[in-house]
Structure 1
């Protein structure tokens, strides 16, 4: 426990394919009414979600587990250029293990999955979807390089076809920090992510070859799909394509307009930033 927090937290460790993952569980002062595992976006460390997870525990009585994928953030164990991690490792295996860890820790409490970007579209490739009681996805959808509005589409094309490949080839990993494009990620994550975002079928070509066979009908829990109006990475029209991945789930949709909350912008990442906490009640409502 930490005296500086109004809620308690515990460091949590669990293993995915021999990789030790580091997470943190935020717990309310009383027995939680639900528990939530928060699957983060690509290249976003779990510490970024700290304020949101703390808010869930403090104000909603929901225990929340945040964590970092293998070979990234707090789960990094050695030089990134030595990593053989892929996007599938993060989105299928690591997400599964984190969810199982939380389910085993709280077997009799409703289980929520909150997915940010990558965290929201990999559930069909996972097991035991019947154990999930609710799913909330934020800024998550199968984006293609042509999905982005102009002029950002030019920047995305440059990243996928020029800057990203050259930098990753030279460094042995995607040097996001050096390029001022976020955090560093393993090369295998970058290359698989690039294939999906430059393919019309997104990850379809890798099903059965790099990705397990999906259970498209497995999720039957309520699903809330949240789009951010000023998100140029995954615009609302692309967000709604996510719904085809979950045909059996009862779905509600929400488009967040930053101006209606008195905010200038939110974009793809910042919905979980403390400066935008005005959004949070509507994200989970």
Structure 2
């Protein structure tokens, strides 16, 4: 895939390996169980890179099973890097998307977020699209697993009034928890493992808040200075966290279902 022989490799976890090549460079090779997952990640990385806003690893090659990207020499988080990430995220979101739910160019409609399927079907407005294509599909699966979440159903019914001011479709990373922010040796923040699609810009920021991130206050302050957030955005964080919480409930069970119920109640309070 790279045209250069592999010399050695070490496992990073899961199906990812760091591989040293004969020319001295290093890459990360990741295996996916589904061809669509490879294609979605390749398209997502290239779409994020095209915005020239936040560093992402370059794609070196892929087939139907494996994806190879440049490795990033890891380091520690820095305040300056966090502020650069905030400004970069603002520019990334402003690069836009064709519609809410649109996949990256050449990306599949049937994509993935982590190990869960995620269908990139477009919608004209964010509230109805978020309910129909992000919350309800996972809510049904969680219900089939035995967890009833009537609070989330009430959120879906009231999304028009809970969503805040209308926003244009943003170019989202789509799975922006702290584990997908990689701090390099020079203190910069790189984005990895996207579930990229057109969405609401507050969703990426809500994901950062869900599991915490180094220097988060500085990231948000730099973002807000570059592209001011709409009034009330902090109160809407639980609304945007419902999607990843439901995904986690599908994958990992009841603890996340209870967190989703709590987030739904907070969203309804506004």
- TM-score category of the 2 structures, normalised to the smaller one: under 0.3
Relative to total residues, which structure has the larger helix share, 1 or 2?
2
**TM-score w.r.t. length of structure 2:** 0.27
Which structure's relative contact order is higher, taking Cα pairs within 8 Å and 6+ residues apart?
Answer: 2
